Amino acid sequence: MIFAGCHLSNSAGYVAMVETAKSIGANTCAFFTRNPRGSKAKPEDPADCARAMELLKEYEFGPLVAHGAYTMNLCTAEESARDFAASVLCDDLRRMAYLPGNFYNFHPGSHVGQGTQQGIEYIVKALKKALEPQYPVTVLLESMAGKGSEIGGRFEELKAILDGVGDDSVGVCLDSCHIHDGGYDIVNDLDGVLAEFDRVVGLHRLKALHLNDSKNPYESHKDRHELLGQGHLGTETFRAIVNHPYLKTLPMILETPNELPGYAKEIALLRSMEE
């Protein structure tokens, strides 16, 4: 049985979020740790988190995949803004300790003209500091489409960050729309792309998936998500993913343009494709 879910709101608390996930046939989900387009975060409610952890066990959920704010750019140009982003990352990991054992995924960042090398150095520095307290959370770098000065569009860039951090527990979340737009042909050669990921990064570092179709063609570097089967990836790509011996063990998070009923349908679609 695959772990399939989607992005859900945690604004009514984590118990409510887990119950919503269950009600749409999900057995994992993603949520933003704070306002995705800002930096505000609600204080955590330890009792709600503890009860949610019990429900996750009772309902046999796979790991949740929290998502850092889009505004958190660890390699932005200005030092004070960079320091602020780094402090947001530290605080996110501290808050994730209320939901121990789950995943926290974030966009590595955009170097905004300073160059990939410099950007990677800043990301590594911030991550090393945030990992120091050793909170019980697995941190994941999201693979990006390589839009603008985004870092993480190439497997080599993800690998450089992982090596710089030097902590084996840090992993990767592959986003199907991003890697396709970024120039990895998972439509025609999923096995070849995974072999390349294994060669560069190591398949054991792959801990979660974002499943999105793409509005744009291969290598467009655009990053616009489409409903499953209605974009340039197509249904068969997702069928291959849910039946791949390694990928099918990972939490799969939908970030498609949907409300809850649409997500319920796509989760059911993924489950129906399991052989």
* 250: alpha, beta or left? (left if phi > 0; alpha if psi -120 to 50): beta
CB 157, CB 182: distance < 8 Å: no
Report the alpha-carbon angle 267-271-275, nearest 5: 160
CB 209, CB 62: distance < 8 Å: no
**DSSP assignment of 206-260:** EEEEEE-EESS-TT-----EE-TTSSSS-HHHHHHHHTSTTGGGSEEEE-SS--H
Choosing among Fe ion, Zn ion, none, which partner's interface includes residue 223 (Cβ < 5 to 8 Å by kind)?
Zn ion
Q: At how many degrees (to 10) do helices 14-23 and 46-58 cross?
A: 30
Binding track, positions 114-153, relative to Fe ion; x by CB under 5 A: ----------------------------x-----------
User: Is residue 175 within the footprint of Fe ion (CB under 5 A)?
Assistant: yes
User: Is residue 181 within the footprint of Zn ion (CB under 5 A)?
Assistant: no
Nearer to Zn ion, 44 or 223 (CB): 223
Least distance to Zn ion, CB of residue 125, Å: 25
Nearer to Zn ion, 92 or 223 (CB): 223
Positions 215 through 234 that interact with Zn ion (CB under 5 A): 223
The C-alpha torsion from 241 through 155 and 171 to 63, rounded to 10°, is -20
Least distance to Zn ion, CB of residue 177, Å: 6
CB 262, CB 256: distance < 8 Å: yes
Residue span binding Fe ion (CB under 5 A) among the ranges 71-79, 85-93, 167-175, 256-264: 167-175
Q: According to DSSP H, which parts of the chain are helical?
A: 14-23, 46-58, 79-96, 116-131, 155-165, 176-182, 190-200, 235-242, 260-273
Nearer to Zn ion, 13 or 153 (CB): 153
Choosing among Fe ion, Zn ion, none, which partner's interface includes residue 210 (Cβ < 5 to 8 Å by kind)?
Fe ion
Cα separations in angstroms, 167 against 94, 130, 255: 17, 12, 28
Count of chain residues binding Zn ion (CB under 5 A) = 1
User: Is residue 150 within the footprint of Zn ion (CB under 5 A)?
Assistant: no
Nearer to Zn ion, 10 or 214 (CB): 214
Binding track, positions 193-212, relative to Fe ion; x by CB under 5 A: -----------------x--
Nearer to Zn ion, 44 or 213 (CB): 213
Count of chain residues binding Fe ion (CB under 5 A) = 3
Residues found near Zn ion in the complex (CB under 5 A): 223
Residues found near Fe ion in the complex (CB under 5 A): 142, 175, 210
